[in-house]
Amino acid sequence: MPQRPDDSPEHASRRSFLQMIGITGMASGVRWSSAQAGAAHDQAHQHVARLDDAHSHVSIVVNGKPHELDVDNRTSLLDVLRNELQLTGTKKGCDHGQCGACTVHVNGRRINACLSLAAMHDGDEVTTIEGLGQPGSLHPMQQAFVDHDGYQCGYCTPGQIMSAVAVLHEKWGESDADLREAMSGNICRCGAYRNILAALKQVRRG
């Protein structure tokens, strides 16, 4: 029987050679992929280890009281206030800077504590709702919120009050629209905006 072209010894040798090359390349690829995966795994673990070891010493004054803290560089000011200092009046709402429930004052200016890392505030002075006033000695804004029923569920109220106090020292116009704009970063899911505005106007006039 005559040989088919692909049955010739020359073709068989070439086919065997190519098969051998393919198997060798596959093995090399497996070894390379395994090595690469191992290196990536080690690198990831090293990265996590570095993050776990990345702490900062922070000297911070909160509501007039000095604190010396060792904080994870990834921890927000909000979490330090709530979890480390037990100042739970500052609320965690959206945790994305959209609702204003975590508003505090840093060096006299309002910020969203959920968007600011605690490690950034070495040497700063922070005021939370607890430092604004206490039962029996309320801040005028706190009293105005009581007078005008400026809250319902109360969850957003600390942030609303902290923003309202900040507005007293900021350059905003006199109209209701100006004040609504000034308070627009604070969301009240209960919809008590009219009463909040009335409380702010009362203190502003006073």
* CATH assignment of the domain containing 140: 3.10.20.30
Please count the structural domains in the chain: 1
Tokens of 89: 């009046």
Would you mind telling me the total number of residues written for the chain in this entry?
Answer: 206
4-50 confidence digits (pLDDT tens): 555 555 555 656 655 565 555 544 444 444 555 555 555 544 444 34
Q: Are 60 and 70 in contact (CB under 8 A)?
A: no
Residue 5: inside a domain: no
For residue 130, what are the domain limits?
Answer: 55-205
More confident residue, 206 or 99: 99
Percent of the chain with pLDDT over 70: 74
Mean pLDDT of the chain: 85
40-87 confidence digits (pLDDT tens): 555 544 444 344 468 999 999 999 999 999 999 999 999 999 999 999
What phi-psi label fits residue 154: left (phi over 0), alpha (psi between -120 and 50 degrees) or beta? left
Residue 4: inside a domain: no
Smallest CA-to-CA distance from 139 within 50, 43, 63 is with 63
What's the CA gap between 82 and 180, in Å, rounded? 28
175-191 confidence digits (pLDDT tens): 999 999 999 999 999 99
Phi/psi of residue 143, nearest 5 degrees = -65, -40
Smallest CA-to-CA distance from 60 within 8, 117, 126, 141 is with 126
Quick check: 111 pLDDT over 60?
A: yes
Residue 104: inside a domain: yes
Q: What is the mean pLDDT of residues 169-174?
A: 94
Residue 36: inside a domain: no
Residue 126 is predicted with a pLDDT of: 98
Residue 16 is predicted with a pLDDT of: 61
Tokens of 62: 């909160």
Residue 40: inside a domain: no
Residue 50: inside a domain: no
Residue 39 is predicted with a pLDDT of: 57
Listed in sequence order, the residues at least 6 apart from 104 whose beta carbon sits closer than 8 Å to its beta carbon are 77, 81, 90, 110, 111, 113, 126, 127, 128, 129, 162
